[in-house]
Amino acid sequence: MRAAVPATTSFPRFSRVVRPGFSAWAIAGLLALPVGVGLAGAMLPAVGYMPALGGTTFSLAPFRALFAQPGLAASIGLSLASGLLTTAVSTLGVALFLAAFHGTIGHRVARRALAPLLAVPHAAAAFGLAFLIAPSGLLFRLLALPFGFDRPPDLLILGDPLGLAMMAGLVAKEMPFLLLVALAALSQADPDRRMALARSLGYGKAAAFLMTVWPTVYRQIRLPVLAVTAYASGVVDVALILGPSTPAPLAVRLLGWMNDADLSLRFMASAGAILQVAVTGAVLGIWLLGERLTGAMRRQAATTGHRYRRDTGFRIVGSLPVALAGSAVFLGLLLLLVWSFAGFWGFPDVLPPSYNLTTWERVLPAAAGPMATTFLVAILAASAALALVVVLLESRRCQFRAAAGRAIRLQPAIAGLIYLPLIVPQIAFVFGLQVLVMALRLEPTILLLAVVHLIFVAPYVALALADPWYALDPRYEQVSASLGHGPITRLFRVRLPMLTAPVLTAVAIGFATSVGQYLPTVLIGAGRLPTITTEAVALASGGNRRIIGAYALLQTLLPFLAFSLSGMLPRLLSPQRRAKRAP
Amino acid sequence: MGLKRVAALACAFALIAGSTTWAAEVDPTDWPAVLEEAEGQTVYFNAWGGSQNINDYIAWVGDTVKERFDITLNHVKLDDTANAVATVVAEKAAGKDENGSIDLIWINGENFVSMQEAGLLSDGFATKLPNWRYVDTDNPSVTIDFTVPTNGQESPWGGAKMVFFADPARSGPIEEMPDSADELLTWAKENPGRFSYPAPPDFVGSSFLKQVLIEKVEDRSVLQEPVEDAEFETVTEPLWEWLAAMQPLLWRSGRDYPDNYPAMKQLLADGEMEIIFAFNPAEASAGIAAGELPDTVRSFVFSGGTLGNTHFVAIPYNSDAKAAAMVVADFLISPEAQLRKEDPRYWGDPTVLAMDKLEPADRDAFAEVDRGIATLPPSKLGPVLAEPHASWMTRIEEEWKKRYGS
């Protein structure tokens, strides 16, 4: 048996693996490549080239057919509005909430409530909201008794032509996400000293926060905000459940054309995919313009000399958006639970007259397999994403070896590549990706599915981990290095243990992202790898609220466990860590 | 992992997958050979997964064929059959001519015609299946799907007939319900906001438009031929007139539509809609049994006839489990499987078999099926209106989208 090798000898080997630059580029390139290939796969049919369907010449006919579609302008308008309004309301809600509650008990309550809110998949939250606000939903059942109506009012609430219900559903899910990243960024924005300074100049609490702390927080969370913008402009599942149908937003119509039995529509659908990319691009452009505008307005407000001291009313109003979104999602989830146990439950009964276990007895045996698949794929994708992201972040840090206290960020080009899957609408490139996977004769396996999920999981893990990773005081590792420990030892004995909480949160976010994937799972899994999400969507088409409730809850369960564990593990591990810190 | 190694891995995958067997045709006339080849094969059956009843029925089929023929049946639950068609298209586009991901697909109408025209289906096999001898071949719709001959490229699975449902506890006696499209319009004038139909291209929604078209058209025979541009407008004019009158009377004033027929069941249960319809005569009984509908709901049809058709299973050209897929298709038309399917406790879908071709014991068993309190007996289902040629559906959907879909 060989003697234990001193840890220091691993140093040269490690630095070869993480050669600054190359591995980062390789990883970023690998993650972005499928997006590029998928887009190319949409681009060719969009200009008429798809030999399998007889398209061998280039032409603009697919685009002409696309622009001749009735109601296309309305669809584009819906996508634009959805991208902009959802993000504006969500961001504003987060800013107001933090301004009103920073450093108070509300702040801590919100932090606690975030994990379960984030765990609810978009589709489940949308169904919950539908059960709440539909004319036959809980709210109108509560109103039915005092106002004496025995059947639901004929009101167009779900699927309203302006897409308000859809945007409400999106806001309810995106606001908690932005709040999470904002809370993480807050600690680095030096809020206490900035607030103290602004308060000493006589500003009210909320104004002090919005003028001194928020701009820094926003700069830090800009990327997640842009990701929300892109997502909301190309969303499919929430739009299908809550959005208008005549016409539907562009992404939904695109999916319809892609899946149409009339195969010639594929050309037009590909042109539509390119249009979707353009629409999302336009939304992002408008958002960036809006950023400048609000920045200018804020500066103007700051130079008027107003101190905005009386802000009690403002603080009550400021708490509303986040509180409404949070309670809507929780109430919706509760409704899903009640429906899954309900017998016949007609309008206007507020609670079901009878309960039974029939739904769960039928659902559970059928759901076991998909649950296992979901778990395996998600854990594989999330761990692989973590490994890649750590290598990526470390290789960048190596270039700043001695720069203590200096802010490190990923090179813009590399960041652009990793975050590409967050900015390019999924629906625009997954169909092209599907053709590539088939052309490579890749069989649908758990591993392949995990690799495809990795494309969407890795950016979120990077998003969650980058800031805490670079914020850790480098002097801990310098001390460790001075004791003769090599980089691998330092990584596993110092850095990772000290960053347990953010690392686990990042893994949980990655895990939840994988669980929620629908289109890539259906297309790449070729239906042979049903996950709880694909089953939920297929069964939801039957419109049975009991089944929908049961599956939405099952869909929430895995991410919820992941988030709970990520919150609990660091505390469980902490005695050991304390011992390590203070020997 | 370096780029090179990934590329190498991808190549290796490609080689392994490329070396698998070719999707050869299977000859169903040599049935013992088919059974032998089918042993141990896995069939990926792509079928709409929106109904728990149907899912449970397919699971039962899976258990049975596993036990008897050593075939593994995996139900791939679809939210729309067109997705499966799109998958086969994508596979053909990628040159994946063997080892395709779909072995059996639940299909009919325009989806079938699309696949047949694009050469995405296996050679004809249905009429050579052993259990074909029980099939009711006097019913033209088992070999002619939406006026297009099936050439045996799909095997019948069940019958469908449009039936309407209402709740007499809310809406008055079932006998006083409308008896034609015109009467439905009159009823809607008296009860605005209580009727609607799923927006085309939903299958049931499009079928409802065809029902109205057949009732209102001057000469029904033109619908049996492929649509011709010149005549489309004049032939369908009565349909658009009827719809224009109906539009403001619809649920939500026609500004939104139910997603599909299961969504209409929920709307009936909540009292938002008072008349709904489905393609399965036992839908209401099954809905009552599942706690989705109040037990006061009953069925009715138009005495002048309602649309009827047959739904099928087909085998894509690139399946590599064709033998097993045929064995499953054959089992699906066995008296045993058809009997269970007709029982509303399991599904309630009408059989495609001819009673006079069955053994006496099987015939008795069919006669004894309890169709449920809200299901009309076969004798009261009224005449069947034949499906128009599939091209009419496509054109009507386009035109509808132009007028109401945007």
List CB contacts (< 8 A) between B248 and chain A. Answer: none
Provide the number of structural domains found in chain A: 2
Give the minimum alpha-carbon distance from B50 to chain A in angstroms, rounded to a whole number: 4
B20 pLDDT band, cuts 50/70/90, is very low
Interface probe, candidates B88, B89, B113, chain A, greatest A C-beta count within 10 A: B89
Query: Helix H segments across B137-296?
Result: 168-171, 181-190, 203-216, 229-246, 261-270, 283-289
Q: Are strands B154-161 and B306-314 parallel, antiparallel or unpaired?
A: antiparallel
List CB contacts (< 8 A) between B91 and chain A. Answer: 438
Spatial separation of the C-alpha atoms in residues A266 and A254, rounded to whole Å? 10
Q: Is residue B187 part of a domain?
A: yes
Provide the number of structural domains found in chain B: 2
Looking at the fold, whether A433 and A333 belong to one and the same domain comes out as no
Looking at the fold, whether B250 and B397 belong to one and the same domain comes out as yes
Looking at the fold, whether A270 and A370 belong to one and the same domain comes out as no
Looking at the fold, whether A437 and A555 belong to one and the same domain comes out as yes
Task: Give pLDDT, residue A163.
Answer: 93
List CB contacts (< 8 A) between B273 and chain A. Answer: none
Looking at the fold, whether B71 and B134 belong to one and the same domain comes out as yes
Return the sign of the alpha-carbon dihedral for residues A545, A548, A550, A556.
negative
Spatial separation of the C-alpha atoms in residues A281 and A78, rounded to whole Å? 15
Q: Name the residue in chain B with its Cα closest to that of A537.
A: B79
First to last CA, chain A: 32
Higher pLDDT, A35 or A396: A35
Task: Give pLDDT, residue A3.
Answer: 39
Q: Is B378 on the interface with A (CB under 8 A)?
A: no
Looking at the fold, whether A440 and A498 belong to one and the same domain comes out as yes
Task: Give pLDDT, residue A72.
Answer: 94
Looking at the fold, whether A342 and A227 belong to one and the same domain comes out as yes
Among A270, A436, A266, which residue's Cα sits nearest to residue B91?
A: A436
Question: Domain range for residue A226?
Answer: 65-145+158-352
Quick check: B8 pLDDT over 70? no
ipTM, 2 dp: 0.80
Looking at the fold, whether A217 and A311 belong to one and the same domain comes out as yes
Task: Give pLDDT, residue A201.
Answer: 86
Query: Quick one: angle between helices A22-46 and B3-18, nearest 10?
Result: 50
Q: Is residue B58 part of a domain?
A: yes
* Beta carbons of B44 and A528 less than 8 Å apart: yes
List CB contacts (< 8 A) between B402 and chain A. Answer: 70
Tens of pLDDT, residues A221-278 = 888 899 999 999 999 989 988 999 888 999 999 988 887 767 778 899 999 999 999 9
Among B360, B338, B355, B381, which residue's Cα sits nearest to residue B156?
A: B338
DSSP secondary structure letter of residue B197: -
Q: Is residue A269 part of a domain?
A: yes
Other beta carbons within 10 Å of A365: 10
Looking at the fold, whether B144 and B235 belong to one and the same domain comes out as no
Task: Give pLDDT, residue A311.
Answer: 75
Looking at the fold, whether A304 and A424 belong to one and the same domain comes out as no
Return the sign of the alpha-carbon dihedral for residues A562, A428, A433, A422.
negative
Looking at the fold, whether A556 and A481 belong to one and the same domain comes out as yes
Q: Is A376 on the interface with B (CB under 8 A)?
A: no
Q: Name the residue in chain B with its Cα closest to that of A33.
A: B3
Last-in-domain residue among A352, A370, A396: A352
Task: Give pLDDT, residue A16.
Answer: 47
Last-in-domain residue among A290, A323, A352: A352
Q: Is A141 on the interface with B (CB under 8 A)?
A: no
Q: Is residue B10 part of a domain?
A: no
Tens of pLDDT, residues B229-242 = 888 999 999 999 99
List CB contacts (< 8 A) between B46 and chain A. Answer: 527
Q: Is residue A150 part of a domain?
A: no
Other beta carbons within 10 Å of A572: 9
What is the pLDDT of chain A when averaged over all its residues?
86
* Beta carbons of B77 and A266 less than 8 Å apart: no
Spatial separation of the C-alpha atoms in residues B334 and B338, rounded to whole Å? 6
* Beta carbons of A344 and B293 less than 8 Å apart: yes
Q: Which helix (H) or strand (E) holds B145?
A: strand B144-145
Amino acid at B393: M
A10 pLDDT band, cuts 50/70/90, is very low
Q: Chain B window 219-278: which residues touch A at a Cβ cutoff of 8 Å?
A: 251-253, 255-257, 259-260, 262-263, 265-267, 269-272
* Beta carbons of B101 and A244 less than 8 Å apart: no
Higher pLDDT, B276 or A186: B276
Q: Is B186 on the interface with A (CB under 8 A)?
A: no
Q: Is residue B7 part of a domain?
A: no
Task: Taking residues B311-315, report their average pLDDT.
Answer: 96
Q: Is B13 on the interface with A (CB under 8 A)?
A: yes
Q: Is residue B241 part of a domain?
A: yes
* Beta carbons of B101 and A540 less than 8 Å apart: no
A13 pLDDT band, cuts 50/70/90, is very low
Q: What is the DSSP string of A395-446?
A: HHHHTTTT-TT------HHHHHHHTHHHHS-HHHHHHHHHHHHHHTT----H
Amino acid at A6: P
* Beta carbons of B94 and A439 less than 8 Å apart: yes
Spatial separation of the C-alpha atoms in residues B268 and B286, rounded to whole Å? 14
* Beta carbons of A26 and B3 less than 8 Å apart: yes
Q: Is residue A49 part of a domain?
A: no
Tens of pLDDT, residues A490-514 = 888 888 888 888 899 899 999 999 9
The contacts of residue A547 (CB under 8 Å, 6+ apart) are A359, A363, A539, A540, B52
List CB contacts (< 8 A) between B52 and chain A. Answer: 362, 539, 542, 544, 547
* Beta carbons of B50 and A526 less than 8 Å apart: no
Looking at the fold, whether B51 and B38 belong to one and the same domain comes out as yes
Quick check: A583 pLDDT over 50? no
A185 pLDDT band, cuts 50/70/90, is confident
- CA torsion A397→A401→A404→A407, rounded to 10°? -30
Among B161, B166, B163, B211, which residue's Cα sits nearest to residue B350?
A: B161
Which residue shows structure tokens 């009997």?
B339
Looking at the fold, whether B279 and B394 belong to one and the same domain comes out as yes
Where is average pLDDT lowest: A207-216, A438-447, A566-575, B201-210?
A566-575
Q: Is residue B376 part of a domain?
A: no
Looking at the fold, whether B304 and B173 belong to one and the same domain comes out as yes
| Tokens read off for B274 | 């008072």
CATH of the domain at A340: 1.10.3720.10
* Beta carbons of B17 and A258 less than 8 Å apart: no
For A411, counting Cβ atoms within 10 Å of its Cβ (0-12 exposed, 13-18 middle, 19+ buried), the class is middle
List CB contacts (< 8 A) between B294 and chain A. Answer: 344, 346
Looking at the fold, whether B102 and B226 belong to one and the same domain comes out as no
First to last CA, chain B: 49
Quick check: B338 pLDDT over 70? yes
Spatial separation of the C-alpha atoms in residues B267 and A46, rounded to whole Å? 40
B378 pLDDT band, cuts 50/70/90, is confident
Q: A234 and A425 in contact (C-beta within 8 Å)? A: yes
Spatial separation of the C-alpha atoms in residues B365 and B369, rounded to whole Å? 7
Task: Give pLDDT, residue B19.
Answer: 37
Q: A436 and A41 in contact (C-beta within 8 Å)? A: yes
Amino acid at A296: A
Tens of pLDDT, residues B254-305 = 988 998 888 899 999 988 999 999 999 989 998 888 888 999 999 999 999 9
CATH of the domain at B175: 3.40.190.10
Task: Give pLDDT, residue A313.
Answer: 78
Q: B299 and B175 in contact (C-beta within 8 Å)? A: no
* Highest averaged pLDDT of the listed ranges A14-18, A50-54, B158-162: B158-162
Q: Report the Cα A491 to chain-centroid distance in Å.
A: 28
Task: Give pLDDT, residue B318.
Answer: 94
Looking at the fold, whether B289 and B335 belong to one and the same domain comes out as no
Higher pLDDT, A419 or A436: A419
Quick check: A18 pLDDT over 60? no
A568 pLDDT band, cuts 50/70/90, is confident
Among B101, B100, B54, B50, which residue's Cα sits nearest to residue B80?
A: B50
Looking at the fold, whether B25 and B63 belong to one and the same domain comes out as yes
Q: Is residue B9 part of a domain?
A: no
Q: Chain A window 383-412: which residues touch B at a Cβ cutoff of 8 Å?
A: none
Quick check: A309 pLDDT over 80? no
Where is average pLDDT lowest: A76-85, A340-349, A465-474, B100-109?
A465-474
Spatial separation of the C-alpha atoms in residues A255 and A242, rounded to whole Å? 16
pTM across the whole model: 0.86
Looking at the fold, whether B247 and B331 belong to one and the same domain comes out as no
Spatial separation of the C-alpha atoms in residues A382 and A446, rounded to whole Å? 13
Q: Is A357 on the interface with B (CB under 8 A)?
A: no
Other beta carbons within 10 Å of A184: 20
Q: Which residue of B46, B272, B404 is in closest CB contact with A152?
A: B272
Q: Are strands B72-78 and B42-48 parallel, antiparallel or unpaired?
A: parallel
Q: Is residue B8 part of a domain?
A: no
Task: Give pLDDT, residue A20.
Answer: 56
List CB contacts (< 8 A) between A135 and chain B. Answer: 272
Spatial separation of the C-alpha atoms in residues A459 and A481, rounded to whole Å? 30
Q: Name the residue in chain B with its Cα closest to that of A387.
A: B1
List CB contacts (< 8 A) between A262 and chain B. Answer: 110, 114, 394
Beta bridge partners of residue A50, listed in sequence order: A55
Q: Is residue A53 part of a domain?
A: no
What is the pLDDT of chain B when averaged over all its residues?
89
* Beta carbons of B406 and A442 less than 8 Å apart: no
Q: B31 and A515 in contact (C-beta within 8 Å)? A: no
Ramachandran bin of A103, using left for φ above 0, alpha for ψ from -120 to 50, beta for the remaining angles:
left
Q: Name the residue in chain B with its Cα closest to that of A73.
A: B406
Last-in-domain residue among A329, A352, A375: A352
Q: Which residue of B17, B267, B272 is in closest CB contact with A441?
A: B17
Looking at the fold, whether B339 and B316 belong to one and the same domain comes out as yes
Vertex A473 angle, CA A469 and A477, to 5°: 90
Quick check: B317 pLDDT over 90? yes
Q: Chain B window 32-61: which residues touch A at a Cβ cutoff of 8 Å?
A: 44, 46, 48-52, 55-56, 59
Other beta carbons within 10 Å of A306: 11
Looking at the fold, whether A348 and A362 belong to one and the same domain comes out as no
Q: Is B83 on the interface with A (CB under 8 A)?
A: yes
Quick check: B22 pLDDT over 70? no
Q: Name the residue in chain A with its Cα closest to that of B265.
A: A543
Quick check: B11 pLDDT over 50? no
Question: Domain range for residue B171?
Answer: 163-309+383-404
Vertex B32 angle, CA B29 and B34, to 5°: 70
Looking at the fold, whether A36 and A114 belong to one and the same domain comes out as no
Q: Which helix (H) or strand (E) holds A581?
A: helix A545-581
Looking at the fold, whether A378 and A316 belong to one and the same domain comes out as no
Task: Taking residues A23-29, report their average pLDDT.
Answer: 86
Looking at the fold, whether B303 and B322 belong to one and the same domain comes out as no
Task: Give pLDDT, residue A292.
Answer: 93
List CB contacts (< 8 A) between A161 and chain B. Answer: 255
Q: Is residue A151 part of a domain?
A: no
Task: Give pLDDT, residue B355.
Answer: 93
Length of chain A: 583
Higher pLDDT, B85 or A287: A287
Quick check: A23 pLDDT over 90? no
Q: Omega of the bond prior to A247 within 30 degrees of 0, cis?
A: yes
Query: Is B167 in a helix, a strand, or coil?
Result: coil
Quick check: A15 pLDDT over 70? no
Task: Write phi, then psi, for A96 (nearest 5 degrees).
Answer: -65, -40
Looking at the fold, whether A299 and A168 belong to one and the same domain comes out as yes
Query: Is A230 in a helix, a strand, or coil?
Result: helix
Q: Chain B window 116-155: which residues touch A at a Cβ cutoff of 8 Å?
A: 118
Task: Give pLDDT, residue B13.
Answer: 39
